[in-house]
Structure 1
Amino acid sequence: MRVLLGLMLLMNAHWAWADNQGAEKEGLPVAAYSLQQATGFHQFRQVTGQVVKHQEAEIGFEFSGVLEALYADQGDTIKKGQILAKQNTQLLEIEKLELLANLDKIKAQLTLAQQDSERLLKLSKSNYSAQQQLDQNRSQIAVLKAEIQVLNVKLKGMDVRLDKAHLKAPFDGVIAMREVSIGEVVGPGQIALRVLEQSNSEVRIGVPQNLLSNIQPMMPITIGGSVYQAQKRSGGTNLDPISRTVQLRFALPSDAVVFSGQMASMIIAKKREKLGYWVPMSALTNGTRGTWQIYQIEQGHLQPTAVEVLHSDGQYAFIDGDLENGTKILANGTHKVAANIKVDIVQSVATRGEQQ
């Protein structure tokens, strides 16, 4: 019995030794990440500004009158020269008819005077009294011609008044505000409509002085959820004493659908020159005394290495430390491992190089 028990214990010990040997041969399966040295990283700064229109106009009528019709309202797109509103012109049209009637009357008088002049010219050669009448006739003709000129000038002025009774768009754009209603008496100095130019919109943004060198000729600007490639229009000359920024102007594309006063934002990238490595955030773990560390994979075993985190974009961290290009590190699962344990690389995570 004792011999049998001894044999069983010997067999159990052998199996346990065999299991331990297998465990030593097989490592923990892990994903690896290869370090690739980068020359630096970009720091991003968001600045904000406002949309302004290259042309804005508050337009109205030059003469008093009753508003008879509106052909455009707030939010409507308009074209240059388009009639937007009209005053009642009934009295002006009656006055024009009176002027035309007077003109016809004066022209008839002039025709009669010219006919009399021809008759008197024949009589003046033999009759002194006919010569005197001829002089009077010529004076009358001159007066009638002068009256015709006056009436023609008044008619031109009337045409101008009639034209001014039609409010026209000064440029292509959109109606931002309507300030009058049909039936209202509107006069000089009263704003009827506010017109904003649809194209030629621009953004004015204050940029910190230390970031001016990072502004490119074309910059992406976000407005209302849409991103537009805006062209730098001016470099700015004055530094705001309060915000310590320089006001820059950026021209938006002609098809940008934006509104005056709308908020705009721009991301400025500034590169910091520094040798280091991009690693996934999942590769970092807490070290001693508030430091960070990663696990290098050396000869199939994990070796903790202290690193300095210089920058992070939420997914990757830019680190510096006693590292070499091409070194493989543990890509994730750092909370499940410990130093010096044996691992087997079963997956490789794509390496991130230079930041674009």
Structure 2
Amino acid sequence: MDIKFSAFLRTSYSSNRCRRNSAGAALLLAMMSLAGCGEQTAATPARAAITLPSVNTLELKQVPAYEHAQTFTGTVRAGNTTGLAFELAGKLDALTADTGDRVRKGQVLAQLDTSLLQAELKEITAALAQNESDLALAQRTLNRSEELSKESYVSAQQLDEVKGQQQSLQAARQRLLASKSATELRLQKSTLVAPFSAALSKRQYNLGEVVPQGSPVFTLVEEGNPKAYIGVPVDVARELNNGDTMPLTVGEQIFNATIEGISAEVNPVTRTVELRMSLPLDARVFNGELAYLDYRKTIAAPGFWVPVSALTDGVRGRWNIYVVDSRQDGKFVERRDVEILYTDKQRAYLQGALSGGERVVANGLHKLVSGQQVNPVSPVAAR
């Protein structure tokens, strides 16, 4: 065999053996690595600890009754809100008050043009003067006729005619006096005066306009006599009496209002009975403001107060809560059906398969299922 060819065979054999040795070593290292990983994975569950969900709880305390609070709405109105008008038509000649003014009782607010009435009064006055003159002459004629009648110089017929004329003049005088009185009354009613101390909330007419009879020129809102008119259900009205004092809220102000009157009929639209309530005389309120009456009634029914966050909806429209059940192997939540008797903004008063001293989950119910083991922490006291 050729010497060069023999050397080539030896070199090729050595290379192939080296490659096989390297591949075997790599395979051995991979198997050792997988074995190590398998041992570590199998050991991990044995070393890990189970974390229980933490829940806030409260202790149930049974109470014999609850206070049912209701709020009823009404409006504030002055004791007198009047549309002030002239009793006769005429042209508006003067305005001495305007919107927003405070006026006192008897103050002049407006005046009609009285030129025609003044002329009528002068005419009546002149007729009265003439009547007085005619009446004086008739009286003197009657006196002379009576003297002459005694001496038979005047017949009975003539005497009766003189007496009739004198009586006719007296009747005319009475008519003239009545006309004068009526004209003076119309003159008086041509001046508009405030019937009570008030705030002038609105003016309807301007100077020079002809005001129809009975059309309001001003709207007056009485001051110092605020009232509230509140509609309440019939069953609530039966519980109330005149003189009862109750809290009334107007805006951000709270007043002790007194019931002055309870309506004797039910409003056909709202099906409520209207209460008339007086506010303090110094109450700073505006006509038409909303008023809210707080009505509270104690209802005897044993139950438990819980926060609204402790409630969750159940099947068939029932409400549920979660009660923490203590067992030997831990604490577990249990779902209970309850009946809600009353709720306010933050709490609910309920009855159900509950006992005083039990602990219920206060919030976070969406994370729980019945029978789940939990870790009760941060207990809160029931109010």
TM more than 0.5? yes
1:183–1:266 distance in 2 versus 1, CA, 3 Å:
same
Q: Is the 8 A contact 1:214 1:268 kept in 2?
A: no
In structure 2, stretches of 5+ residues that fail to align are 1-57, 315-319, 360-373
- State the AA in 2 paired with 1:204: I
CA deviation after TM superposition for structure 1 residue 196, in Å: 4.0
Residues 1:203 and 2:198 are matched in the alignment: no
CA deviation after TM superposition for structure 1 residue 206, in Å: 4.2
Number of the residue aligned with 2:209:
184
1:190-221 deviation line (CA, Å, top 9, x unaligned): 332233444363413243x5655665733322
Residues 1:231 and 2:259 are matched in the alignment: yes
Q: Is the 8 A contact 1:49 1:206 kept in 2?
A: no
SS of 1:128's equivalent? coil
1:299-310 aligned at under 5 Å gives the runs none
Task: Measure, in 1, the Cα distance between the counterparts of 2:376 and 2:105.
Answer: 78
1:112–1:269 distance in 2 versus 1, CA, 3 Å:
same
- State the AA in 2 paired with 1:102: A
Alignment partner for residue 288 of structure 2, among 261, 266, 281? 261
CA deviation after TM superposition for structure 1 residue 60, in Å: 1.9
Larger radius of gyration: 2
1:209-247 deviation line (CA, Å, top 9, x unaligned): 56556657333222233223131622654375x76x423
Residues 1:222 and 2:241 are matched in the alignment: no
Residues 1:142 and 2:167 are matched in the alignment: yes
Alignment partner for residue 122 of structure 2, among 85, 97, 102? 97
Task: Measure, in 2, the Cα distance between the counterparts of 1:239 and 1:63.
Answer: 36
Residues 1:45 and 2:77 are matched in the alignment: no
Alignment partner for residue 193 of structure 1, among 218, 239, 253? 218
Q: Report which structure shows greater RCO (CA 8 Å, sep ≥6).
A: 1
- State the AA in 2 paired with 1:226: Q
Task: Measure, in 2, the Cα distance between the counterparts of 1:340 and 1:182.
Answer: 81
Give the TM-score of the pair, scaled to structure 1. 0.63
1:90–1:232 distance in 2 versus 1, CA, 3 Å:
closer
- State the AA in 2 paired with 1:268: Y
Alignment partner for residue 276 of structure 2, among 250, 258, 275? 250
| Comparing 251-260 and 57-66, the one that deviates more | 251-260
Q: Is the 8 A contact 2:305 2:348 kept in 1?
A: yes
Equivalent pairs, count: 298
Task: Measure, in 2, the Cα distance between the counterparts of 1:140 and 1:43.
Answer: 86
1:237–1:90 distance in 2 versus 1, CA, 3 Å:
closer
CA deviation after TM superposition for structure 1 residue 110, in Å: 2.0
In structure 1, stretches of 5+ residues that fail to align are 1-32, 297-302, 329-337, 344-348
1:92-151 deviation line (CA, Å, top 9, x unaligned): 123212211221222122223323333343333335358776554333322321221121
| Comparing 72-81 and 59-68, the one that deviates more | 72-81
1:264–1:294 distance in 2 versus 1, CA, 3 Å:
farther
SS of 2:266's equivalent? coil
Residues 1:160 and 2:160 are matched in the alignment: no
Number of the residue aligned with 2:96:
71
1:294–1:82 distance in 2 versus 1, CA, 3 Å:
farther
